[in-house]
Amino acid sequence: MFKKYFGLVVITFFVLMVGCGNQKKTITAQSTKSSQPEFTAVVETMDSIYIASLSKMGPYTEVGKSLGELMDWLGKNNVMPMGAPFGIYYDDPSKIPSESTKYEVCFPVPSGTKGNKQVMVKKFGPVQVAATIYTGPYDKVGTVYTKLIEWIINNKFEVTGPAHEFYLNDPSKVIAESLKTKIAFPIKSVAEQPAGIKN
């Protein structure tokens, strides 16, 4: 019974546009390039939550398989996910060989959830991020990263951590062109740097 209910809940979280924690929009802006498709990003704060995290090394194309492993672990341990799954990507695949790239796949989980050697349960956030919503196939997301980094720099922020991707649809139910992915980078204002420190 739990496994059947668990599957329905996971699909529901994939379909609903649920982020990680309660997000609070603080700044909204659009790019000014009229020759490009409209690009919109926001700065928001993600509240503190607990996540179940599975760390991996290897090609980012294996993220789907890794999420499946994490979902199996949640089901076997009777842990109900509390939000949409997401990935944390630590390396630039244009600079690091794909077999050496590091990433985590994560699900928000209830506090008190116990991890093991395979799956770590830890606190995530609070964190301020710049984020945008991308619609389309997962393998075409690269150009959005470039636009988001440019937006961050142009709006006087700097990146302080790895990229996050929140998967807002179930790819088994939604065609690739309609998949929605929230892409986010932890940031801080350039003005927050201590005096005398330069990039």
Q: Could you read off the pLDDT of 72-129 as tens digits, one per residue?
A: 999 999 999 999 999 999 999 889 999 999 999 999 999 999 999 999 999 999 999 9
* Phi-psi map region of 21: left, alpha, beta (phi>0 left; psi -120 to 50 alpha): left
Which position has the token pair 């150009």? 143
Residue 192: the pLDDT is 59
Q: Judge whether 106 and 52 are in contact, CB under 8 Å.
A: yes
Q: Which residues of the chain have pLDDT under 50?
A: 1-36, 197-199
Residue 102: the pLDDT is 98
Which one, of 146, 143, 152, 130, lies nearest residue 42 by Cα? 130
What domains can be seen in the chain, in order of their start residue? 2-190 (3.20.80.10)
Pairing of strands 127-135, 157-159: unpaired
Residue 9: the pLDDT is 35
Tokens of 79: 């842990």
Residue 170: the pLDDT is 87
Residue 18: the pLDDT is 34
Tokens of 19: 């982020």
**Distance of alpha carbon 3 from the chain centroid:** 25
- What is the pTM for the complete model shown? 0.78
